[in-house]
Amino acid sequence: MTQIRLHNSKTRRKEEFTPLEADNVRMYLCGPTVYDRAHLGNSRNVLMFDVLYRLLRHVYGADHVTYARNFTDVDDKINTRAAESGRSISEITQETIGWYHADMDALGALRPNHEPRATAYIAEMVAMIEDLIAKGHAYAAEGHVLFAVDSFDSYGALSGRSVDDMIAGARVEVAPYKKNPMDFVLWKPSSDDLPGWDSPWGRGRPGWHIECSAMTDALFGPSFDIHGGGTDLMFPHHENEVAQSCCAHPDGQFAQIWLHNEMLQVEGKKMSKSLGNFFTIRDLLDQGIPGEVVRFVMLGTHYRKPMDWTDRKRADAEATLRKWREMTADVEPGEMSEAVIEALADDLNTAGAIAELFRLASEGDVATLKASAQMLGLLTDPLGGWDQVDTGDHGARIEALLQERAEARKAKDFARADALRDGFAAAGVIVKDTADGATWEAGPNFDPSKLDEL
């Protein structure tokens, strides 16, 4: 059996993965708060966990792996969006979940086995909070219930920070009802215009952190195998999950392995609306960039390294996938490359796995290439077809313009040759100059009307 090794954020080292139960591998990924479109950075851990899900299913069998990813559908951001738009909370969350599914499907991500919504687990959250109070780990104050950080000696172990460091480096909400500035909210009161549920502490709603602890306990029990998210969630979200879960179930260990992905950049800069380089997954798809291309680019960088999205990477990925799809068009998948499996088993080394795909392509081993690429969620039928663009009756026109460009170059009429080059680009025609002459293909943004301007 393939031995998987993963970098455990909890121990800060790479470890051999041994599931708690070989026939019941369980993993959980913190999902989105559903009030708006998912941006490109949101897809990084989804794709990372999608590859891990595929690998675990390959090693342990599809029936022995359970993957859960939640939807946070009760949150102040959702409340604000509802107040601003005049729409109902349920309408906003349902629409956003639909968007999320469509976007992640377009990237080739398999749906998890469970997609729990926070609002469906309020009773479990209330029960866990009651238990934490009874065990002396939480207290009620002014309609709130707060977790007492001082009651958990290991608080800060996951993120590697002391409580004093966390207070100094974090925006701690100062409130008179807190015994310790680091104590965090498990339950808070709701006014009549906000969502709320009856509880022993009055009508209210859960804090953010308690939902994941309640849902993993309901789905997996007090101990499970893998928990993940972005590095931005390590503190306070994941730190707080560990504290409340381990205090509620002192005989359990919660997640035995923690995986955290690094953040996304765009052209070397942090993605932000103020820099004008912020975009959603849907923005890219609507620009004609295929989901498979986005997936290829994202998997080209190891999940523990910062990911830099660039237009050059996008173009190179598209050219590579076009070539590979052409090579494997009428080929049945063969056996997977052991080198690809070994790369993925080595802490999800997707960059190494893709390097092996390039080697297989260069050697013409197309059956192995196709099978191995599909292990990464590439060259699959659901993501296919984007490279097939109907050029209609415009092929002859393009050929004539290419011949004109060749004659212009020969006559050293570089102005005309450059104008034709730019015109091809504007029309979405991809031209490649080879030793045997120029070849062309229509890109996904093919616009034949632009040819008329030439």
User: From the first residue on, what is the mean pLDDT of each consecutive set of 10 residues in the chain (454 residues)?
Assistant: 96 98 97 96 97 98 98 96 94 96 97 98 98 98 96 94 64 77 95 95 96 98 97 95 97 96 93 86 93 98 97 95 95 97 98 98 97 98 82 81 90 90 87 82 78 84
Residue 226: inside a domain: yes
DSSP secondary structure of 177-213: T-SSTT-EEEEEE--TTS--B--TT-SEEE-TTHHHH
In this structure, are 370 and 349 located in the same domain?
yes
Element (H, E) at 116: none
In this structure, are 51 and 196 located in the same domain?
yes
The pLDDT value recorded for residue 394 is 81
Q: How far is CA 207 from the centre of its chain?
A: 24
- Of 311, 306, 320, the closest CA to residue 289 belongs to 311
User: For residue 436, what are the domain limits?
Assistant: 395-453
The pLDDT value recorded for residue 306 is 96
In this structure, are 26 and 92 located in the same domain?
yes
Name every residue whose Cβ is closer than 8 Å to that of residue 59 and which is 6 or more positions away in sequence: 1, 2, 4, 345
Asked if omega into 333 is within 30° of 0 (cis), the reply is no
In this structure, are 206 and 82 located in the same domain?
yes
Residue 12: inside a domain: no
In this structure, are 121 and 147 located in the same domain?
yes
In this structure, are 105 and 223 located in the same domain?
yes
In this structure, are 156 and 251 located in the same domain?
yes
Strands 204-206 and 184-189: antiparallel
DSSP code for 120: G
The amino acid present at 46, given as its one-letter code, is V
- Of 2, 5, 1, the closest CA to residue 346 belongs to 5
The pLDDT value recorded for residue 437 is 81
The pLDDT value recorded for residue 441 is 79
Partners of 197 in beta bridges: 204
Helix axes 311-327, 291-299, angle to 10 degrees: 110
Burial 27-62, CB ≥16 within 10 A → b, else e: bbbbbbbbbeebbbbbbbbbbbbbbbbbbbbbbbee
Residue 2: inside a domain: no
The pLDDT value recorded for residue 425 is 87
Residue 6: inside a domain: no
The pLDDT value recorded for residue 399 is 87
Name every residue whose Cβ is closer than 8 Å to that of residue 344 and which is 6 or more positions away in sequence: 51, 55, 350, 353, 375, 376
The pLDDT value recorded for residue 162 is 72
The pLDDT value recorded for residue 232 is 93
The pLDDT value recorded for residue 170 is 54
In this structure, are 195 and 274 located in the same domain?
no
Residue 8: inside a domain: no
In this structure, are 316 and 178 located in the same domain?
no
The pLDDT value recorded for residue 103 is 97
Partners of 189 in beta bridges: 204
In this structure, are 316 and 428 located in the same domain?
no
The pLDDT value recorded for residue 109 is 98
Residue 145: inside a domain: yes
Domain end point (choices 216, 234, 261): 261
Domain end point (choices 383, 405, 421): 383
Q: Please, are residues 275 and 265 in contact by the beta-carbon 8 Å criterion?
A: no
Residue 89: inside a domain: yes
In this structure, are 351 and 434 located in the same domain?
no
In this structure, are 250 and 269 located in the same domain?
no
Burial 346-367, CB ≥16 within 10 A → b, else e: bbbbbebbbebbeebbeeebbe
Residue 4: inside a domain: no
In the chain the first and final C-alpha atoms are separated, in Å, by: 60
Count other C-beta atoms under 10 Å from residue 379's C-beta: 25
Q: How far is CA 34 from the centre of its chain?
A: 14
176: domain CATH number? 3.40.50.620
How many separate domains does the chain show?
3
Q: Please, are residues 135 and 180 in contact by the beta-carbon 8 Å criterion?
A: no
Give phi and psi for 331, each to the nearest 5.
-115, 135
Domain end point (choices 233, 261, 289): 261
